[in-house]
Amino acid sequence: MLLPYQRRPLHDLPDTPQAYDAVLADVAEQALARLTPEGGLEHPEAYLDIGDTSLGVTSLLALAWQRGQDPRLPEAVRRSLAFHLRERVYTDDNPGYPNLRVRDSGLPYARYVLEPGAHPVGDWPSTVWALLQAVDILDLADGLLDDTRRAALTEVAHGYWRWLTEATFFNPQEAGNQAIGCVVGGLMLARRLPPARGEAVRSRALALYTERIRAHRIRDRGALLPPEHGGAYDNNYGPISLSFLAQAHRVSGEPVFAEDGDTLARYIDARLPGGGYDTGGPRYSEQHSGFESVLGLRYFSGRIGSDLGRYRGDTRWGRHAVRPDGGLDGHFAWMLVWQIQDTSRWHRTPSAGTVRHQLRAGTVSVAFDDRMTPSLIEAAGTYYLPAAVDRRHGFGPVVDGFLLCRPMGEVRVRDAHAAPLTAKLVSKPVVGPDQVLRHVRSLYVTDGTSLWTVVAVERLAGDPCLLAGLPYAADDGDRVRRVARGEVTSAGELRLSHPVRTGVETFDTRGELTQEQAAFALAADPRGYGDPDEGWRHLVTSSAFEAGPAPGAPPDLHVFAVRYGPGGPFAPAFTAAEEGLTVRAEVFTAVLGHAAGDAHGVPTLTLHG
């Protein structure tokens, strides 16, 4: 079973001028065949997200004409623009719209659904998108629009801006991508207005970014991020916000957009494994954007010096939005316009720097969450998610159904390198069901092909085991497929357990549900509006690798040792001495210093190949 959204890395899509001209040529042929007598360019089955779609196709035709001078296109641009101005600009309040600050303002806006009152809450982002399509056309208007048409479009675009920032509450859905997109629209519009009006719009746009977006960022994994539908990051919308930050920097030159984009880009880089698979977010759990992410990932890949283009996007939307039948949809067309206009190129090699929330080398990756517990492990092309036991989620020792991974104090991290090895030691104080404070030391070592995990903790009562992950997906050429097993070896007894009961609160990796579907089934609100991350936290139990204690551990410790990926026999040896716990495995020797650590309390780690 192939996952529906996780497809090719976005940097695999050709981005040469010739490739983009071929894309625009195809767009032009589809649009000319679709153009209605009234001038509409909407897909016949479009219903949602419709307010900007015809105008988006118009902008693509304008760009195609500027690049290729196809004589058929100017008339199509003028007719379709007239259609939008005549049929898709609304000035009467949409019945039921809840976010108006001024009634009967008469200002123009775009509708998410054309039918009055059918789905008015989507009108704010639809108007942002229509503003962006309009300013793109204004930028491409030379030789296409006369002064009268240009003035009419400028007036509507300015009206859109005023509706978004005066007649309504700003960013009513608390969606960072929409809010930054609105700011970009203002910055681009300002360049097309007379100087005084333009400066007023530009100043207002920058103030909105500073006071209404930047001041409300949410911290996750050490980074301050624009809030997205109530969370810090969404793996669909987060990269779209990155594209908006790239465009804001391109058109304004303001350093704040580059700085915040660098922060978001480094965050994405840290959470993303080498294979580009990702999951998580307050709106969509596994869905990924496609062309909407390219600008930001490409622009900032060079700025931070890392291969952000490994991000697996939905390449059905690899160039522009399409309907289920594969037909052109103008939604988000401005992103394709901007990425064609942008001259930055992909940075295709990983960053060489050490990152707190990531361990990455070769084809092995570990992404860590805020608690420095793995949120995703990648080894031998297989992706492992945190498993669940008795409602507790993560990677770590389990005793009497209690998972020891939630820190009760400061988490300390130490990194080490000894070519070809890369390692990270995480030490966290935890409290178990007996209310005794213990220190869990987790060592992660990779040679770029396999990952060794060694977890040591003061001796536990009962029959403990290590919750070692949920095997979920694996690379399959250009796609990602569901799996129910993984190449895992343990020094102690190893078993792959599955839930003994069924129901939405359990997740059996042998089943057909994707993680996203299971998460939405547990969310409080309907799919598309609920929070899948919150829903997933209600998961009671899942399939899981469970590793027993390794033999030969010092008598005062329980030590668990697991290898992800290929290798021969696995029989690590452990020695306790004054300097700490020495671990000897087939390719490395590591010394884990005592829990007290160095003079600053940071655990010590010595690594040898």
| pLDDT tens-place string over residues 95-147 | 999 999 999 999 999 999 999 999 999 999 999 999 999 999 999 999 999 99
Distance (Å, whole) CA 609 – CA 602: 23
- Predicted pLDDT at 603: 86
Distance of CA 309 to the CA centre of its chain: 12
Q: Return mean pLDDT, the chain.
A: 96
Tokens of 415: 């990194």
Is a pLDDT exceeding 80 seen at residue 449?
yes
Mean pLDDT, residues 222-247 taken together: 95
Distance (Å, whole) CA 466 – CA 374: 13
| Confidence band, pLDDT 50/70/90 cuts, at residue 38 | very high
Is a pLDDT exceeding 70 seen at residue 39?
yes
Mean pLDDT, residues 443-458 taken together: 97
Burial of 63 (0-12, 13-18, 19+ CB in 10 A): buried
- Predicted pLDDT at 596: 65
- Predicted pLDDT at 298: 98
Mean pLDDT, residues 46-53 taken together: 95
Mean pLDDT, residues 173-193 taken together: 97
Mean pLDDT, residues 206-224 taken together: 97
The predicted-structure confidence for 521-554, as pLDDT tens digits, reads as follows 999 988 778 899 999 999 999 999 999 999 999 9
User: What percent of the chain shows pLDDT beyond 90?
Assistant: 93
Distance (Å, whole) CA 422 – CA 449: 11
Distance (Å, whole) CA 452 – CA 230: 36
Distance (Å, whole) CA 355 – CA 292: 27
- Predicted pLDDT at 373: 97
Tokens of 138: 């204004």
Mean pLDDT, residues 325-349 taken together: 96
| Confidence band, pLDDT 50/70/90 cuts, at residue 401 | confident
Tokens of 66: 């500027």
| SS3 call for 557 | strand
- Predicted pLDDT at 265: 98
Mean pLDDT, residues 42-64 taken together: 96
The predicted-structure confidence for 582-596, as pLDDT tens digits, reads as follows 999 999 999 999 766
- Predicted pLDDT at 599: 75
The predicted-structure confidence for 406-424, as pLDDT tens digits, reads as follows 999 999 999 999 999 999 9
- Predicted pLDDT at 236: 93
The predicted-structure confidence for 291-328, as pLDDT tens digits, reads as follows 999 999 999 999 999 999 999 999 989 999 999 999 99
- E strands present in 6-129: none
Angle formed at CA 529 by CA 524 and CA 535, multiple of 5 degrees: 35
| Confidence band, pLDDT 50/70/90 cuts, at residue 434 | confident
Distance (Å, whole) CA 537 – CA 540: 8
| Confidence band, pLDDT 50/70/90 cuts, at residue 150 | very high
Place of tokens 């962006």: 132
Distance (Å, whole) CA 140 – CA 60: 10
Is a pLDDT exceeding 70 seen at residue 442?
yes
Is a pLDDT exceeding 70 seen at residue 597?
no
Mean pLDDT, residues 198-217 taken together: 98
